Amino acid sequence: MIEGGVIPGAADSPVLIHVPHGSRAIPAAVREHILLDDAELTAELSLMTDGHTAMLAERAAARTMLRPWLFVNALSRLVVDPERFPDEREEMRAVGMGAVYTRTSHGARLRRDDTGHEKGLLAKYYEPYAAAMAQAVDGRVSATGRAIIVDLHSYPSVALPYELHGAGPRPQICLGTDPFHTPPLLLAAARNAFADFEAEVNSPFSGTYVPLRHYGRRPEVSALMVEIRRDTYMIEPGGEPHAGVTALVSALAELLDEIAR
């Protein structure tokens, strides 16, 4: 089962916008294993969902000269988190937030420790998602000789207890980089595009998503994470977008146009 999908762009665009955490959807069979009641789950989804990021990606893509491709996760990160390592490499396992979360943003029990259930979720959701994302990246490399992943997220204006590195600056825009996959020109393009915003590199979050098939191996696959502080464009937590969307979409579109050249 692939709970994420490609929205095609221009055949000759190397850019792929990844939207991994924008959905609140949880299948009924997965919901049965979550220990929170409905009100608690609604509150947790509002805290942990990167609200309206799919909308931001679509609006920015629609304004570009060479439309990028999109890969949008259809399910909540509370099902599986496609951006976490599925094993001991993942530092967020220390707070119960590996690829399958067992704790909430505030450290409460989300689901019981159940190795069988975790393996089942990884097999049904995580692994097909990873394969589909890798295939989408391969498609851009095959068509254009390169792939540029823009990993689109948002984060709350006030740090949540689960954040391991939440003490740093919380700018309007956080640009996450990888030493292998983020070339200087890609970071420079992002700095230019977001020149009218407060921006920091790798604070409060660092790194960027690259499929494991390519990670650390394929220099023609580059990537940059764009983390947007939520009060920049929406009412927190989990509320509607506000007028800040306009400037943000314009900056995103500028970035997408620049890196597609």
Quick: pLDDT tens for 81-116: 999 999 999 999 999 999 999 999 999 999 998 999
| CB distance 26 to 75 below 8 Å | yes
Q: How remote is the C-alpha of 251 from its chain's centroid?
A: 18
Give me the mean pLDDT over the 238-249 stretch.
98
pTM of the model: 0.96
The amino acid present at 112, given as its one-letter code, is R
Give me the mean pLDDT over the 207-226 stretch.
97
- Mean of all residue pLDDT scores within the chain: 96
Residue 166's pLDDT is 87
**Cα distance between residue 127 and residue 131, in whole Å:** 6
Helix axes 184-193, 245-260, angle to 10 degrees: 150
What is the share, in percent, of the chain residues with pLDDT greater than 90? 96
Residue 1's pLDDT is 40
Q: Is the model's pLDDT at 130 over the cut of 80?
A: yes
Residue 2's pLDDT is 44
Give me the mean pLDDT over the 230-256 stretch.
98
Residue 131's pLDDT is 96
Listing DSSP states for the chain in one string gives: ---EEEE---TT--EEEEE-S------HHHHTT--S-HHHHHHHHHHHS-TTHHHHHHHHHHTSSSPPEEEEE-S-TTT--TTS-SSTT-GGGGGTBSSSB-B-TTS-BSS---HHHHHHHIIIIIHHHHHHHHHHHHHHHHHHS-EEEEEEEEE-SS--TT-TTTTS---SEEEE--TTT--HHHHHHHHHHTTTS-EEESSS-------TTTTTT-TTEEEEEEEEEGGGTBPTTT--B-TTHHHHHHHHHHHHHHHH-
Give me the mean pLDDT over the 59-81 stretch.
98
